[in-house]
Amino acid sequence: MGRLQGKVAIITGAAKGLGEADARMFAREGATVILTDMDEENGQRVAGDIGDAAEFQIQDVRDEQGWEDLVADVVSRHGKLDILVNNAGVVEPGTIETQTAEEYRFVMAVSADGAFFGCKYAVPAMKASGGGTIINMCSIASIIGEPIVVAYAMAKGAIESLTRSVAVHCANNKYNIRCNSVHPAGILTPMVEAIGPKVMGRDDLRPSSEGPAPSALGEPDDIANTILFLASDESKFINGAAIRVDNAKSVMEGVVP
């Protein structure tokens, strides 16, 4: 306990799924957590469950002014920003032939634009208070071929490149700010449950604790434990990395030797 004691964190897309798991784990480890999401009902529920260590703010991550206001408010009230988890994201099934322009723009705006604006306003705030860490939620869709979610894969590829650019920029300028990306395989979240039959061609989704690899899915805490490590000072020498949490799926696909 206490691995994030005294730290202030923003987690986007925290009303459910991976963001919710991150928020609960961060609070248990001593952080003050600002959860953001468009889903106000579930966001307030999660913050209420966590208690005094958490608060919820409604946020559309596509809105640049909203990002500027959010970070300024957090710094004004809490004195600093130590951790940003750019977790918010959406997926719309579609191949390069079937994905519509509207779906493409929506997925890119929430995932890629949201991560860009988050980094843009977190870096100056972290620099002013002596450093921090940014964790960008990616996917192995940026590593392996995922034909049925082309816009999602493209957005995650953009985030992976953004992560490296931010890491090198901050290192070159000696800001003491680290930026890493996390690349899960399928994780049993509400989003995956909703699209599973379309994308995976099956509806028998189950967590890894209930079935053998590779058919089973990971659980939210499998990712939250990795996010926690990257958010903590234990990972102080990890910067610009793309961390795969995929139970060897990318290796089995032959992408990573």
The catalytic residue positions are 152
| Ordered strands of the 132-137 beta sheet | 54-58, 32-37, 8-12, 83-86, 132-137, 177-184, 242-245
Residue count (the chain):
257
Residue 9 · residue 28 · CB < 8 Å? no
Query: Do residues 12 and 23 make contact, with C-beta atoms less than 8 angstroms apart?
Result: no
**Which residue(s) pair with 57 in the sheet?**
36
Assess contact for 176 and 125: CB atoms under 8 A: no
Contact 256/250 with Cβ under 8 angstroms? yes
Half-sphere exposure of 214 toward its Cβ, with a 13 Å CA cutoff?
11
The DSSP H or E segment spanning 63 is none
Residue 176 token pair: 């003491």
- Answer for the pair 52, 33: CB distance below 8 angstroms, yes or no: no
